[in-house]
Every structure is written in structure tokens, then in C-alpha cells.
Amino acid sequence: MSAVRRARDERLTNALDQNARDLLRYLERRVGSNDAPDALSDTMIAAWKGAARVPTNPVEARMWMFGIARNVVLNHSRGERRRSRLAERLRESVGVLPANNDAAAGLDVLDAIQRLDPDLAEVIRAVHWDGFSLAEISQYLGLPASTVRSRYHRAKRELAHVLGSQVELIQ
Amino acid sequence: MDPSSSFRDDALNDLLDRAAAPAPLSALMTDAALQEATRAARFEAARDVKSRLGRRLAISGVALALVLGGTGVAAAVTNFEWPSWAQQPDAAMQITLPSGAQCEYLIGNLQNADPEIMDAARAFFASAPVPTTAQVDARVVAVHGETLAQTPEGDRDRRYSSGVVGVMADELDADLQQHGFDSAQRPYFEGVITCEGTNQ
């Protein structure tokens, strides 16, 4: 193995190690806990297959991996799923998940987000659930920052309209 | 922006922040499991690529391929064609040869008339750890009467590769015995090692 390839593989290993939990959380919030191990497995495998393209800058490498995860989510939405041994091992390492006692909390807000155009909903989730800045989102979605900003403001306007009464109550 | 609009925006932000879907799996997953997943994904990716490119890789000569029989006898193969079982091996592991070459070692094509022995062997390979250098060295001493360090440099990688499959065979024998089987009934199995960075 060449020194260049070894360095690249080490870079990707480090990047995945540092971001795996965030990737899993991102995926879990979009495809659910049952399918998240498969989605993480697909994301990691796709990252390794594209290892030649992993950016050298750690922040860019992180956004590159979230871009892959986003594509995995889109494929998942289209019903393209596969069960892998890797995902089974991840499931087994956790065992039975605790029941979610907060399932009813924020259901109407979740519903409102889900009813948004999927491109708008992704920006809302990325900002408010994953803590990404609009600049980071534009990186992993591969879109101009102005497009992401415009989507975010449009989504907020639509949500404010739908959730108006709740917003007033909080005030 | 008027103050009431700013308040509404803050309130909406608060609502959206608190609506984050629960993610219990990512909270409970251990660092070790995630790190293992990273490494397993690397092998799975390599296997997927090899299943598509294996023939081309072998013929172009950039990969060293050995087919290793269950008896631990290794033979270099010319005009190597990727075996069909390698698309769904029973085990895949990474080893580093004494020369520093990084190799992937796939095991599969298990054959035995007894389905219980087959199940036990498959279970063994599914979780078998990668043989340590010390284990391989001991195996090399047992077969060749000299350590890897004493082995002529040109033979080290080949002896190491053979030693790995020998250790795996020994470990499988011990595992079968622990499960009440006769180790003489060890299933036939094959291994394929592909390496980059070696000319042996």
C-alpha cells in the first residue's frame, strides 16, 4: 500500500471515528432507530468506497460524510434498503432500546416539519436538531449558501404560520 | 424587525429545538462498537469493490493472490480468477505481512457432510480474531524450525500468510473439540489473500 493511500485511509478512519456518533444521530432522527444501523453501515461503506475523495480538511471531511449520509437517507426514503451483518452487530451491541416516554411531546411540531417540502424540512432539522450552521448545510448539501438561507427562511415562515397559536402561547 | 417579530422568532426556534426526534440508539452505542463499525465497513467496501473488479485486479498483477487449502498448504496461483464464494465469505480480516504489505484475507467455501459441524465452523469464522504475530511466529517455528526473523527475507511474507491459515485451522480444531466434535472432522475451507505493496 502506498504511503499516500495509507495516509488517506488513516484520515478517513479518524474522520469516521470522530463523527460516527453524530452521523448515527443524524440518521436515527431521519430513518428511525430500527433502520439507523443499516443507514450508518451504508454511509460508512460508501465513504470507504469514495475514500479517494475524502477532503484533507477535517471540517470538510465531516461535511463530506454528512453529504453521503443525506444520500443514504434519500435512498432509504425510496425504499432502497439492505440488511447487513455490520448493522446487525451494531444493533446487538446496544440490545433493547428503552421505551420513549416523550413520544407525545412535540408531535404537532414534528408533524408540521414533516409536512414541509422535504428540502425545507431537511434544513430545519439540520439547524435545530443537528446544530449545523447554514454554511455547513450548504457544504453537505452541495448548494449555494444563498439557496440554503432562502429555504430556511421560507420554512420558518411556513412553520410560524402553521404553529402560530403555539408560538403565541410560549410568548 | 419589530420586537414582537423577534419574540415570535425566538419562540419558534425554541419549539423547533425542543421537537428534535429522540435518538436513543446513538446515545447508547459504545465508542468501541462505532470504531469496530468503521473498520468492518472498510472491509465490506473492499469486498464489494473486489467482487466487481477482482478478475481485473488479479490479471493485472497488482494483487498477490494465494489460495490456501484447509490443510494449511499454500500455493501461489497464476492466472488467478476470483472464486465465486469470495463474494460472500465466512470471514474477512486484515493482516499486515512482515514486509508491511496490507492484505485482506477472506475465508470461505466450507465443505463438510455434517451440517452441525458446518454451523459450528461458520460460527467460529464469523467471530474468529485475527491471529497475532506471536501465534503466527510460533506456527512458523513449528513448521519450518525457525522464527520469522530467522527466515530469509524473500520467504517471510509467504510463510506468514501460510502461518495465518495454519493458526486459523488450529483454532478451529480447538473450537470444534470444545463443542464436542472430533477435530479430525474439520471442514475443508479455502482462503484468499490479496495484498498490495508486495512483489512476492
For the four alpha carbons of B189, B51, A8 and A85, in that order, the dihedral sign comes to: negative
- Condensed to tens digits (0 to 9), the pLDDT of residues B146-172 reads 899 998 887 788 788 878 888 888 888
**In chain A, where the domains are located:** 1-97, 102-171
Partner residue opposite B24 with nearest CB, options A49, A100, A105:
A100
Among candidates A88, A51, A69, which has minimal Cα distance to B43?
A: A51
Which residue in A has a C-alpha nearest to residue B7's C-alpha?
A171
Q: A13: phi > 0 → left, psi -120 to 50 → alpha, else beta; which?
A: alpha
For the four alpha carbons of A116, A119, A124 and A129, in that order, the dihedral sign comes to: positive
Percent of chain A with pLDDT over 70: 77
CATH topology of domain A1-97: Rna Polymerase Sigma Factor; Chain: A (1.10.1740)
Among candidates A108, A131, A119, which has minimal Cα distance to A155?
A: A119
Find out whether A170 and B14 touch, Cβ atoms under 8 Å: yes
For the four alpha carbons of B42, B43, B44 and B47, in that order, the dihedral sign comes to: positive
Mean pLDDT of B116-138: 86
Per CATH, the number for A102-171 is: 1.10.10.10
- Condensed to tens digits (0 to 9), the pLDDT of residues B89-108 reads 888 888 888 888 777 788 88
Partner residue opposite A45 with nearest CB, options B19, B28, B48:
B48
CB contact under 8 A, A170 and B14: yes
B15 touches chain A (CB under 8 A): yes
**In chain B, where the domains are located:** 3-196
Grid cell locating A4: 499516500
Partner residue opposite A93 with nearest CB, options B22, B33, B102:
B33
The pLDDT assigned to A168 comes to 57
Grid cell locating B152: 530469509
With vertex at residue B153, the alpha carbon angle to CA B149 and CA B154, rounded to the nearest 5 degrees, is: 145
Specify the amino acid at residue A46.
A
CB contact under 8 A, B18 and A106: yes
Q: For residue A165, what pLDDT band results from cuts at 50, 70 and 90? A: low
ipTM confidence: 0.81
Alpha helices in B75-114 (DSSP H): none
Question: Rounded to two decimals, what is the model's pTM?
Answer: 0.56
CB contact under 8 A, B29 and A21: yes
Mean pLDDT of B38-54: 67
Q: Residue B16 and residue A123: Cα distance in Å, rounded?
A: 12
Cross-strand partners of B95 = B103
Find out whether A155 and A116 touch, Cβ atoms under 8 Å: yes
Find out whether A102 and A127 touch, Cβ atoms under 8 Å: no
Measure A114 CA to nearest chain B CA, in Å: 11
